[in-house]
Amino acid sequence: MATAKNAAKSRTAKKKPATKKKTLVIVESPAKAKTIEKYLGSSYTVKASMGHLIDLPKSRMAINVENNFEPEYITVRGRAKLLQELQKAAGNSAAVLLASDNDREGEAIAWHLHNAITQKNTGLSVSRISFNEITPQAIKEAIEKPSSIDDAKVNAQKARRVLDRLVGYNLSPLLWKKVKSGLSAGRVQSVALRLICEREKEVEAFVPEEYWSLDAEFRKQRKVFSAALINWNGEKANLKTEAEVNSIIEVLKGEEFKVTEIREVDKTVRPKPPFTTSMLQQTAANRLGWVSKKTMQVAQRLYEGVNVGKSRVGLITYMRTDSVRISNVALAEARSFISKTYPECLPEKPNFYSTSKTAQDAHEAIRPTYPSYTPEYVKPFLAKDEERLYSLIWERFISSQMKPAKTKTLSADISAGKALFRAAGTQVVEQGFFKALFLLAGKDERGGAFPPVSEGETLESPNFKSEQHWTQGPPRFTDATIVKTLEEKGIGRPSTYAPTISLLMDRYYVQRSNKQLVPTTLGKCICDMLVENFGDVVDTDFTASMETLLDEVEEKGREWADMIRMFYTPFKAKVDMVSQTLESQKGSFDEVTNEVCDKCGKPMLKKLGRFGYFLACSGFPACRNAKSIPVAKCPKCGGDVVERKSKKGRRKKFYGCAKYPECDFLTQFKPTAQNCPKCGWFLVEKSDKRSGRHKACINPDCSESK
């Protein structure tokens, strides 16, 4: 009876509808996946590929030179499980949308995923979507207009990858054989290293010269303003010594100081365009003191999305771009915001900016996705670094669509006997786009006027202020200036600037000192060898021309293999020749010292390692004793002062006693090989605007310490 009832129930039971398959969207990062998933409905699943899943192996060159330079791709080590999960998820989906970044690397990631997924799931619809910003509207529009993989862009990435692999995997073994194991050379990094080394030679060759300035400080209306001496005895003031300055002051005592001429110059200051990648890195370096790598890491977080209140949103557009172009929608939103917030600063027509002729112009400029999300509004939801970088981007974008500012520069010539002094100050007449600048505000935006004076007016006798200076030689490169130079010379692209600097640092070819990029002894050696034997490969013009050819592969469909062949044939012949003729420099960095190994009694050698010089036992490998090189004697306990690095943060370099923690002596300044003639403590290297580079005593109580 029960069985009959169950059978009846089974016949009358309603069939459950089949579960509708979802569309799978694959992006690069989990943060981006999290943001996009909130925009899409329940019909979509969003997963992250975590970057490249298929690439060239690290252990070998993997380029088939005999077969049109075809790369031998493999699944990246440790990524096989993730690739299988994505293939399985794709098989359970109605369709797949590949949403990696809209650049060459992103296109290559999409191409590899497309091949891997369709290989396992024949007949499955796999399409490409791209967007410049992570907003609901941009994602919706991208999904409505899926496309196919851009083969030209994939070929351009393939060509760059193959080119860099051929250079690196031919030059690096040559360095191992002739110089030192563990070294590397790359196509773009070697050119950047050459620029830094050549600048260092200019810095070292420069001899600073002393000069003096003389200002007259006047008081009027309870305000003090300064005028600089510009002419003496009818000629440009050129004061070499303090004695010259004092003699002029003596002559001027008792002279009448009269205003002889007043000039007004009106100036229109136009706003700057929105940020490109290089300009963002330069501005963040100059305003925030950031290295390029940090700037790009913070920008990546702002692009991929942050929680703002109850919603998650990508706050800025894609941060790898060489264009200053903005979309019509963004332009309209910016003008609407300005009309409500700064109505008097809205120009009649939009401001347009020209993009560099060498720019790819694949993406818009870097801008906020929503102008209404002011820095003040989003500040509670952002970390400090995120808020500061977002402020720079927001201010630069909004101000770019505002009216120019107008300033008035006043200068007054003040004569006294044989002397001519000049005071100058600037007043902001119309703020214009200055109103939107806070973190980006500079001297022009703040102005600096002096009290009003009139021609023929006699001023009270001034106080004189003299100051010693030293001529400044060519500055070393910083992150900002090397990025600017690379961009100007057409070397690399927005995505390569920060990695290039990081690679030079990681290889110990370059170090940072007071935010300046200084080549190490190892870096100089590598540079000299490459320039002498492969001058054309590490030439700026040649490297720029290769970038142009890569662009042509993407834009004009140039055959990538032909381009590689044109470069590789003469390059490989040169490598083979140098390998046979270049004398080995192995061991050339080793120096015998007077130090004795405290473990086996053999002499210690001064050796160059990955992180600089160190002392190692000459009995290696039987004895593996090694230690830091003493740079001075500790003034507290007589022990050795050695170079050390902080364990946290940026691992800044400092110098401390080797007997720490028994002795806590430390200094931030680099010791020299000289001792102070007055107190006997060691001298250190210091640098400031007043005295330039100079040596000073480490003893704070010594008169030679400044």
Q: What is the pLDDT of residues 122-161, one digit of tens each?
A: 999 999 999 999 999 999 999 999 999 999 999 999 999 9
Averaging pLDDT over each range in 331-340, 485-494, 580-589, which range is the top one?
A: 331-340
Ordered structural domains, the chain, with CATH: 23-149 (3.40.50.140), 158-206+475-581 (1.10.460.10), 210-270+406-470 (2.70.20.10), 277-403 (1.10.290.10), 591-697 (no CATH)
Beta partners for 696? 684
- Residue 589: pLDDT over 80: no
Q: Which active-site residues does the annotation give?
A: 318
- The chain-wide mean pLDDT, for the chain, equals 90
479 CB-near residues (< 8 Å, 6+ apart): 281, 285, 290, 291, 292, 501, 515, 517
pLDDT, tens digit (0-9, with 9 covering 90-100), for 275-316: 999 999 999 999 999 999 999 999 999 999 999 988 999 999
- Residue 606: pLDDT over 90: no
**What is the model's pLDDT at position 15?**
52
**What is the model's pLDDT at position 692?**
66
Arithmetic mean of pLDDT, 479-489: 95
In the chain, % of residues over pLDDT 90: 72
Looking at residue 605, its amino acid is L
- Residue 1: pLDDT over 50: no
Cβ pair 412, 437 in contact under 8 A: no
DSSP per residue over 248-290, as a string?
Answer: HHHHHTT--EEEEEEEEEEEEEPPPPPB-HHHHHHHHHHHH--
Residue 451: band (very low, low, confident or very high) from pLDDT cuts 50, 70, 90: confident
Interior CA angle at 282 toward 279 and 285, to 5°?
A: 145
Least confident stretch, 345-349, 434-438, 628-632, 691-695: 691-695
**What is the model's pLDDT at position 418?**
95
d(CA 187, CA 183): 14
d(CA 415, CA 435): 38
CA nearest 442: which of 229, 648, 271?
A: 271
Arithmetic mean of pLDDT, 587-595: 81
d(CA 276, CA 354): 12
Arithmetic mean of pLDDT, 506-513: 90
pLDDT, tens digit (0-9, with 9 covering 90-100), for 208-263: 999 999 999 999 888 899 999 999 999 999 999 999 999 999 999 989 999 999 99
Cβ pair 543, 144 in contact under 8 A: no
Residue 318: band (very low, low, confident or very high) from pLDDT cuts 50, 70, 90: very high
Residue 609: band (very low, low, confident or very high) from pLDDT cuts 50, 70, 90: confident
**What is the model's pLDDT at position 647?**
63
**What is the model's pLDDT at position 501?**
96
Arithmetic mean of pLDDT, 371-389: 97
d(CA 275, CA 282): 10
- Residue 640: pLDDT over 90: no
Using the 8-state DSSP alphabet, how is residue 477 labeled? P
Taking the model in full, what pTM does it have? 0.83
- Residue 598: pLDDT over 90: no
CA nearest 623: which of 599, 606, 605?
A: 599
Residue 586: band (very low, low, confident or very high) from pLDDT cuts 50, 70, 90: confident
**What is the model's pLDDT at position 652?**
73
Using the 8-state DSSP alphabet, how is residue 48 labeled? E
Least confident stretch, 107-116, 215-224, 665-674: 665-674
Rounded to 10 deg, the angle between the 187-205 and 497-506 helix axes is 70
- Residue 7: pLDDT over 70: no
Q: Is 166 exposed, middle or buried (0-12, 13-18, 19+ CB in 10 A)?
A: buried
**What is the model's pLDDT at position 16?**
52
**What is the model's pLDDT at position 616?**
92
Cβ pair 640, 630 in contact under 8 A: yes
